[in-house]
Structure 1
Amino acid sequence: MAVGRVVPNIQIRQEAEAMEESRGFYGLLGFEEVMNHGWIMTLASPSQPAAQISLMTDDRTAPVAPDLSVQVDDVDAAHAAMVAAGAEIVHPLQDEEWGVRRFFVRDPNGRVINVLSHR
């Protein structure tokens, strides 16, 4: 299985200005918006597009906001490996309307990891 990218997810305040403030702050470091669904926004480096950070108020289709996202080439194989290892699946494997297939798993330190592949 190959990892395509790893993106930290930072949970931000629910207020409308929180996204704008965060975009401005990380923009000072050179990040630019590459995706925005209103509840999650991803910023990336124009010179290194895989260098990304996501800011989210919450996760609209899952019970918790993940701490980290890991994009893999085969999310079904990743899910099967986690289940076989007895890992705690926090959010079931499912297709999302924005073009990803994903599940959440809890790591040994209690962090929730969003494991995904683009469809």
Structure 2
Amino acid sequence: MNVRRVVPNFQSDAAEASREFYGLLGFEEVMNQGWIVTFAPPSAPAAQISVMTADKTGPVTPDVSVEVDDVDAAYAAVRESGAEIVHPLQDEEWGVRRFFARDPNGRVINVLGHL
């Protein structure tokens, strides 16, 4: 299994202020779903930061998103390890398959793959 990108997720209602702030650092808006906005610099599009009011379908806002090339294999490995599954594996209407798991530090990790 390969990791494609890792994105910190900040829970906030300040998307516009975040757009302005991260713009000062060379970031541009690359995705806006209304409840989540993602910023990335044009020179390094996989270096991303997301700001979300709350997760649309999950029970909590994840701390980090990790995109992998095989989300089903990741889900099987995490379940087999005994780690807590916070949100079950499912396909989302915005084109990802994902689940949430809690890491040993108590952080909620959104593990996803694009459909």
TM-score clears 0.5: yes
Hey, what's the Cα distance between the residues in 2 that align with 1:60 and 1:72?
A: 21
User: Which TM-score applies when normalising by structure 1?
Assistant: 0.95
1:112 and 2:108 matched? yes
1:81 and 2:63 matched? no
SS of 2:78's equivalent in the other structure is: helix
Give the Å deviation of 1:19: 1.1
Report % sequence identity: 76
1:27 and 2:45 matched? no
SS of 1:82's equivalent in the other structure is: helix
1:48 and 2:44 matched? yes
Query: Which residue identity does 1:10 align to in structure 2?
Result: F
> Which structure 1 residue ranges, 5 or more long, are not aligned?
none
> Which structure 2 residue ranges, 5 or more long, are not aligned?
none
Give the Å deviation of 1:110: 0.2
SS of 2:39's equivalent in the other structure is: strand
SS of 2:6's equivalent in the other structure is: strand
Aligned length, in residue pairs: 115
Query: Which residue identity does 2:103 align to in structure 1?
Result: D
After superposition, give the CA deviation of every residue in 1:10-42 in whole Å (9 maximum; x if it has no partner).
1103xxxx2111100111000000000111000
Deviating above 3 A after TM superposition, structure 1's stretches of 4 or more consecutive aligned residues are none
SS of 1:109's equivalent in the other structure is: coil
1:100 and 2:96 matched? yes
Quote the RMSD (CA, aligned, Å): 0.5
User: Which TM-score applies when normalising by structure 2?
Assistant: 0.99
